[in-house]
Amino acid sequence: MLKQFADYVTFTLLKLQPTSHAGDALNFFIYDTLKIFLLLTTIVFVVAIIRAYFPPEKTKKILSHKMEYIGNVMAALLGIVTPFCSCSAVPLFIGFVEAGIPLGVTFSFLISSPMVNEIALIMLWGLFGWKIALIYTGTGVLLAIASGMVIGRLKMERYVQDYVWETKVGNMEIVQTSFREKIEYARDYTTDLLKKIWPYVIIGIGLGGIVHGYIPAELVVKYAGRDNPFAVLVAVLIGIPLYSNAAGMIPVVQALVGKGMAMGTVLAFMMSVTAISFPEAVILKNVLKMPLILTFFGIVTAGIIIVGYLFNAIL
Amino acid sequence: MEIKVLGPGCANCVKLEELAKTAIKELAMDAKIEKVSDIREIMKYTMSTPGLVVNGKLKHSGKPLPGIEKLKAMIEEEV
């Protein structure tokens, strides 16, 4: 139905030729915009309801009695549903440490939470299909588990800022909310989010449309195709400063895949966009000393690069 | 009445403080609003900022922010 609408506007109303660059690009733009916003609104709303049941205080409680390994697995999984923004990374980190959650387990959470987020998943699902979205989720969770375990084994507790160990946390109560309030929360959350990301989505889809209509496939294959051994590395480096713009990046990447960009490179790129960010590093400086920050980003970056090459080899 | 707005200084924390000010003005209440930005103090109440504490009780934490009517109700509950 969305497809018919896009066809109607481009080819009947505006009388553009389906074979022309402009017609192709505009048709692509209208169809994708409608589809993405429909998906975003419904799924973000549903996910927000689920999230309302997992405030960070509850996640902390669940994790506080867990040992390493099983703790890493649980932390990575809870990272998917616990709402997290880098602005509350500091209180979250202190809370976890104070509750006796091992450092490695805390990192599994800190890695999974921003990386496996509903916006990235919806965009991947809508534009690449559920298989790719599932692969992204699975790999993201595994990466968070593995990186957390490695950091745990490295025994880097001395690189946590000293005051963190001394901070005494009050008996945090969880604000109890009714189902009705959870629905209201989900509604506000969805509106807030859409207000924030809609320009990026539109710009992203617009750029994707231009790539789709105008960029020659040979060019993409040459630089981002399977045969360029540096593609994954470069994609990860480009992704690092694009923090939190997953919504805007995925449509562009989708258009590039249509022109021959390799799938492993795409996954690595997406993960570096969502998981590694400079602003987060600056915020974490409040609780971590430099060697630990560098180790954290180093391990995650290395993991993402491995994921990229691995999937380029098997997909 | 004592109201605390918990937040290290992000945009939402500033917004919540503004909202709280408007709320007590509209309720014509005599309340003191204190901005708490020390992380150790915040941690006594919550891990998700911004937070709102009324008479020592945590009434809201995290995003999205409550609307003005909801906020007024939260304050009135503790009177």
- Report the b/e string of A230-257 with b at 16+ CB within 10 A: ebbbebbeebbebbbbbbbbbbbbbbbb
pLDDT tens, N- to C-terminus, chain B (79 residues): 899 999 877 788 889 999 999 999 999 888 889 999 888 888 888 888 889 999 988 988 888 888 899 899 989 888 7
- Tally of structural domains, chain B: 1
**How far is it, in rounded angstroms, from Cα A123 to Cα A120?**
5
Checking if the pLDDT of A83 tops 80, the result is no
Paired sense of beta strands B51-54 and B2-6, if any: antiparallel
What ipTM was assigned to the predicted interfaces of this complex?
Answer: 0.77
Which of B36, B47, B55, B69 to probe by mutation at the A interface, max A CB count within 10 Å?
A: B47
- How far does B25 lie from chain A, in Å, by closest CA? 24
The position carrying tokens 């790539």 is: A211
On the question of a cis peptide bond just before residue A229, with omega within 30 degrees of 0, the verdict is no
Q: Give the residue numbers spanning the domain of B58.
A: 2-77
Active-site residue flag, B10: yes
Segment A123-146 shows an average pLDDT of: 93
The position carrying tokens 């496939």 is: A217
Interchain CB contact of A88 with B (< 8 Å): yes
Interchain CB contact of B39 with A (< 8 Å): yes
Q: Answer whether A87 sits within 8 Å of B48, measured CB to CB.
A: no
Interchain CB contact of B37 with A (< 8 Å): no
CA-based max dimension of chain A:
69
3-class DSSP state of B5: strand
Q: What is the DSSP string of B19-65?
A: HHHHHHHHTT---EEEEE--HHHHTTT-SSSSEEEETTEEEEESSSP
**How far is it, in rounded angstroms, from Cα A253 to Cα A261?**
8
DSSP label at A160? B
The position carrying tokens 């630990």 is: A292
**How far is it, in rounded angstroms, from Cα A265 to Cα A226?**
8
Of A41, A188, A174, the closest CA to residue B12 belongs to A188
* CATH number, domain containing residue B24: 3.40.30.10
Of the partner residues A91, A185, A192, the one whose CB lies closest to the CB of residue B47: A91
User: What are the pLDDT digits (tens) for A172-201?
Assistant: 777 778 899 899 889 998 998 899 889 999
Q: Answer whether A94 sits within 8 Å of B43, measured CB to CB.
A: yes
Instruction: Report the amino acid identity of residue A202.
Output: I
Pick the catalytic residue: B3, B5, B13, B75?
B13
Q: How confident is the model at residue A244 (pLDDT cuts 50, 70, 90)?
A: low
**How far is it, in rounded angstroms, from Cα A180 to Cα A185?**
9
The segment with the largest mean pLDDT, out of A7-11, A137-141, A248-252, is A137-141
Do residues A292 and A132 lie in contact, with contact meaning Cβ atoms separated by under 8 Å? no
Set of chain B residues whose Cβ sits within 8 Å of the Cβ of A94: 39, 43, 47
pLDDT value, residue A210: 85
Of A226, A222, A223, the closest CA to residue A308 belongs to A226
Q: Answer whether A83 sits within 8 Å of B39, measured CB to CB.
A: no
Strand partners, A78: none
Interchain CB contact of B10 with A (< 8 Å): yes
From A103-117, A242-256, A296-310, B44-58, the region with the lowest mean pLDDT = A242-256
Active-site residue flag, B37: no
Of B51, B56, B9, the closest CA to residue B32 belongs to B56
End-to-end CA distance of chain B: 7
- How far does B20 lie from chain A, in Å, by closest CA? 18
User: What are the pLDDT digits (tens) for A206-222?
Assistant: 888 888 878 889 988 88
Q: What is the DSSP string of A80-102?
A: HHS---GGGHHHHHHHHHHTT--
Checking if the pLDDT of A283 tops 90, the result is no
Paired sense of beta strands B51-54 and B57-61, if any: antiparallel
Phi, psi (deg, nearest 5) at residue A116: -95, 75
Interchain CB contact of B4 with A (< 8 Å): no
Checking if the pLDDT of A71 tops 90, the result is yes
- Percent of chain A having pLDDT more than 70? 99
Do residues B70 and B30 lie in contact, with contact meaning Cβ atoms separated by under 8 Å? no
Q: What angle do CA B36, B39, B40 make, to 5 degrees?
A: 100
Set of chain B residues whose Cβ sits within 8 Å of the Cβ of A167: 39-40, 43
Q: What is the DSSP string of A234-298?
A: HHHHHHGGGTT-HHHHHHHHHHHHHTT--HHHHHHHHHHHHH--HHHHHHHTTTB-HHHHHHHHH
- Smallest CA–CA distance from A190 into chain B, residue: B64
Q: Answer whether A92 sits within 8 Å of B8, measured CB to CB.
A: no
What pTM was estimated for this model as a whole?
A: 0.86
Phi, psi (deg, nearest 5) at residue B61: -150, 145
